[in-house]
């Protein structure tokens, strides 16, 4: 999956012949899973029509601060457009537009949006050979990079003037690849390996029946997606669940029983940087599993249970440099029980759930958690989507690695 998946891209198009390539660029962004909004300078409309780009991006295209033909039309808010974006790309970036960006000459909507942008900004120069090499142009390149912008270098080839040389805008495929590579290199968990457990475990009574719980696995899967999106390689050890993931950096290891999850966790644990035990593992299992379906004969039926191995505690014992996170689902004395679990299982952080909180618990799209770290610092969060809770957990991990 592309790092651009789900990203909001503000594409600024200035007035050069290379503007015709932006139709392909928009299509590639959309194919990568991005949402695209286009701003054009008035001059760029001589090279490609707003209708083409609007059709491809499935969004209206803006090129002026307001529509002069409609006195009731609201103004096009450049600040709103800029703050909407996760990434801004200016392609082609002509010598004229580059000069305006450098000097803050705010005479069109594109430059106004650029000056308001808080997100990463990429610019792909496009101009003739001598213009590209002119000292004023190279000066503008240097200044824009000093401002924190990233240049997508021009390529060599045939130019509109008939000359051949450097100054040709990078091909759309190369622009997308450049941005993907640059964003990937800056992901905060790039190079980290994270083990995550998810879902329930099923403990067989006979070939038909089992002991299980209501865990859907969604919390663990959301954590896995969030971790992978931040650059981590993820090993997701999951019990039976209908949850799916889309990020190719996630490796699924399916298990059924608590014992299978125990073995899988220890197979991978020594090589990971972080382990997050989000699974709802059975504490007990039938001591004897019937080889045939048990018939309904007696009025009462007793199952003798044996304790399963404590996966999280075993990981705490084996812990070296791993950052170990556990979950606690409590119904009473929540904080006290969670603190005891931190000590007994050698955890760095625990994510506490209470079944007494409305909207939290199994099988729900939301969760309400409290973070407690190994120093017993407590941070209670409001009710959020499980995706938002996953992001909060990953932020804790990012801060941990930033601090060491």
Q: Which residues are tagged catalytic?
A: 213
Q: Are 179 and 122 in contact (CB under 8 A)?
A: yes
123: its two tokens: 């610019």
* Nearest-5° Cα angle at 364, 335 to 343: 25
Phi, psi (deg, nearest 5) at residue 90: -110, 110
C-alpha to C-alpha distance for 285 and 283, rounded to whole angstroms: 7
* Nearest-5° Cα angle at 221, 388 to 28: 80
Lookup result for tokens 């290379």:
18
Q: Are 119 and 86 in contact (CB under 8 A)?
A: yes
Q: Are 144 and 151 in contact (CB under 8 A)?
A: yes
C-alpha to C-alpha distance for 267 and 265, rounded to whole angstroms: 5
C-alpha to C-alpha distance for 229 and 402, rounded to whole angstroms: 18
340: its two tokens: 């005891």
Does residue 332 sit in helix, strand or coil?
coil
Which DSSP state fits 323?
E
333: its two tokens: 């004395």
Kind of pairing, strands 87-93 and 233-238? unpaired
> DSSP strand E in 44-180: where?
87-93, 121-125, 150-151, 155-158, 164-168
83: its two tokens: 């703050």
C-alpha to C-alpha distance for 13 and 22, rounded to whole angstroms: 8
SS3 track for 261-292: HHHHHHHHHHHCCEEEECCECCCEEECCCCCC
């Amino acid at each position: 999956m592309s790092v651009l998946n789900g990203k909001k891209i503000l594409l600024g198009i200035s007035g050069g012949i290379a503007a015709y390539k932006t139709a392909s660029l928009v299509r590639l962004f959309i194919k990568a899973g991005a949402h695209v909004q286009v701003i054009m300078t008035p001059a760029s409309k001589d090279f490609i029509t707003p209708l083409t780009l609007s059709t491809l991006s499935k969004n209206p295209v803006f090129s002026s601060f307001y529509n002069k033909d409609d006195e009731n039309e609201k103004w096009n808010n450049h600040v709103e457009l800029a703050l909407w974006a996760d990434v801004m790309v200016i392609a082609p970036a002509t010598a004229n537009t580059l000069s305006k960006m450098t000097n803050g000459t705010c005479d069109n909507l594109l430059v106004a949006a650029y000056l308001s942008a808080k997100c990463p900004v990429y610019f792909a120069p496009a101009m003739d050979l001598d213009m590209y090499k002119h000292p004023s142009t190279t000066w503008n390149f240097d200044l824009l990079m000093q401002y924190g912008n990233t240049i997508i270098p021009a390529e060599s080839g045939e130019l509109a003037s008939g000359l051949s040389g450097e100054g040709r805008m990078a091909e759309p495929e190369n622009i997308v690849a450049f941005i993907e590579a640059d964003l990937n290199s800056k992901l905060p968990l790039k190079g980290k390996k994270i083990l995550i457990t998810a879902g329930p475990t099923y403990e067989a009574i006979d070939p038909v029946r089992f002991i299980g719980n209501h865990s859907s696995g969604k919390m663990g899967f959301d954590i896995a997606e969030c971790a992978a999106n931040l650059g981590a390689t993820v090993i997701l050890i999951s019990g039976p669940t209908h949850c799916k993931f889309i990020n190719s950096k996630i490796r699924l290891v399916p298990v059924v029983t608590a014992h299978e999850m125990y073995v899988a966790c220890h197979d991978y644990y020594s090589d990971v940087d972080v382990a997050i035990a989000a699974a709802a593992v059975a504490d007990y299992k039938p001591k004897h599993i019937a080889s045939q379906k048990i018939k309904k004969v007696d009025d009462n039926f007793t199952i003798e249970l044996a304790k399963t191995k404590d996966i999280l505690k075993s990981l705490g014992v084996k812990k070296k440099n791993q950052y170990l996170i556990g979950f606690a689902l409590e119904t009473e004395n929540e904080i006290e029980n969670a603190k005891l679990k931190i000590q007994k299982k050698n955890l760095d952080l625990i994510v506490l759930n209470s079944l007494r909180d409305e909207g939290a618990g199994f099988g729900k799209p939301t969760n309400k958690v409290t973070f407690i770290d190994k120093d017993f610092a407590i941070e209670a969060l409001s009710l959020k989507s499980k995706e938002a809770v996953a992001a909060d957990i990953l932020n804790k991990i990012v801060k941990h690695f930033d601090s060491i």
